[in-house]
Chain A
Amino acid sequence: MAEATANGLGQHALHAHDAPVAAAHAEVHQEHPIKLYLVVWAWLFILSTCSYLVDYFGLHGYLRWSLILIFMILKAGLIVAVFMHMAWERLALAYAIILPPILVLVFVAMMLFEADYTLLTRMTFFGAGP
């Protein structure tokens, strides 16, 4: 029992010793030149304007959808990578946070089938349109 207690104490000591070291490591400050933020800011404005123009000029069909998606992904990427500093974080964090939302695409695929099926049954029972 005394042994266990001593061990426990030792571990506490180890932990207490570890903590400041870890904290020192944690002080990796995300300091980047202001210019970088201004450039990203400008790009976000440009990309937003582009996606607005897609609607303004009334593009439609696959061209519209692909342009919307491209501008959206670029904007999201810039925000996450630079503004949220994900580009400079360790991979362990980046993967833990970025991979799970990508799995939502599986859910999207499932619901696409589901929604198409619902539409099909509705058309079968109620006709093509109101």
Chain B
Amino acid sequence: MAETTVTHTGQMRPRPAGWHGIAADWASDQRAFKNVSWGKAMMWIFLLSDTFIFGCFLLSYMTARISTRVPWPNPSEVFALRIGGQEIPLILIAIMTFVLISSSGTMAMAVNFGYRRDRRKTAILMLLTAALGATFVGMQAFEWTKLITEGVRPWGNPWGAAQFGSCFFMITGFHGTHVTIGVIFLIIVARKVWRGDYDTGRPGFFTSRKGRYENVEIMGLYWHFVDLVWVFIFAFFYLW
């Protein structure tokens, strides 16, 4: 009885002993992001960690570029394409940028239609996003092929500082991997939307949990992040 009184006067409640107690202390009623579901919060935290990864890549690129005595190859010329007998600087990269931005736009619309329960439009827009993403990866593959045939290697290139190749392959390769994974996930989520999984509450094949239309938004967060990283790569690697 005395214990009950103590509990009701707002003192610490008895906790289970050992690891259960530690887990209870850390887990009980402690919720920082009040109106954000765990799925969205965890995606944001993952994206934060990914930001640091790409941040470190861009930092190492900055360090390599500043500390070399050899002139850095001019990206404007390296990434120029000959179209109709005319050398147009950086045109492929510009097109890739527009493709990726467009895919972000279609993704944002997909999220919107998802919350309106318009399954058809959501799935079509997500597949369109995936198609634009695949186009982007295709253009990147073309770019890699072109540079490799011109003699760019991680340890050297015909135009200047040897670090150019390693920075280029590392940064764009990692970004391209992100886009590829995003395309795969887009197709998976689009299929779920199309089938109506989020309306019928069908358990997911991996988590066995019911999905919600918020999953489309969480997928969208990842996709916009891929676009966001490209904004920085475009500015620092291709334009600088």
Q: Is the interface of A mostly helix, strand, loop or mixed?
A: helix
B235 in contact with A71 (CB, 8 Å): yes
Q: Is the CB of A37 within 8 A of B69?
A: no
Chain B residues with CB under 8 Å of chain A are 3-4, 7, 13-14, 16, 28-29, 31-37, 41, 44-45, 47-48, 51-52, 55, 59, 62-64, 66-70, 76, 89-90, 94, 97-98, 101-102, 104-105, 107-109, 111-112, 115-116, 214, 217, 220-221, 224-225, 227-228, 231-232, 234-235, 238-240
The residues of A that contact B101 with a CB separation of less than 8 Å are 41, 44-45, 48
Q: How far does the alpha carbon of A18 sit from the alpha carbon of B31 in the complex, in Å?
A: 11
Tell whether, in the assembled complex, residue A90 and residue B59 are in contact, meaning their CB atoms are under 8 Å apart.
no
A interface residues, Cβ below 8 angstroms from B: 3-4, 7-8, 11, 15, 18, 22-23, 25-26, 28-32, 34, 37-38, 40-41, 44-45, 48, 51-52, 54-56, 58, 64-65, 68-69, 71-72, 75-76, 79-80, 82-85, 89-90, 92-93, 96-97, 100-101, 104, 107-108, 111-112, 114-116, 118-119, 122-123, 126-130
Nearest A residue to B212, CB-CB:
A27
Contact B48 A92 (CB under 8 A): no
Q: Which residues of A contact B33 (CB under 8 A)?
A: 90, 92-93, 96
The answer to whether A26 touches B14, judged by C-beta atoms less than 8 angstroms apart, is no
Q: Which of B13, B41, B69 contacts A11 (CB 8 A)?
A: B13
- B104 near A76 (CB under 8 angstroms)? no
20 further A-B pairs in the complex, CB-CB below 8 A; given A15-B29, A79-B224, A80-B228 = A26-B35, A31-B116, A37-B109, A40-B108, A44-B101, A44-B104, A48-B97, A55-B76, A75-B231, A79-B228, A83-B220, A90-B34, A90-B35, A92-B32, A92-B33, A93-B36, A96-B32, A100-B48, A115-B63, A128-B69
Query: Would you call B4 and A52 a contact (CB within 8 A)?
Result: no
Instruction: Give CA–CA (A96, B47) in the complex, Å.
Output: 12
CB distance from A125 to the nearest CB of B (A): 10
Contacts of B231 in A (CB 8 A): 72, 75-76, 79
Asked if B35 contacts A76 (CB within 8 A), the reply is no
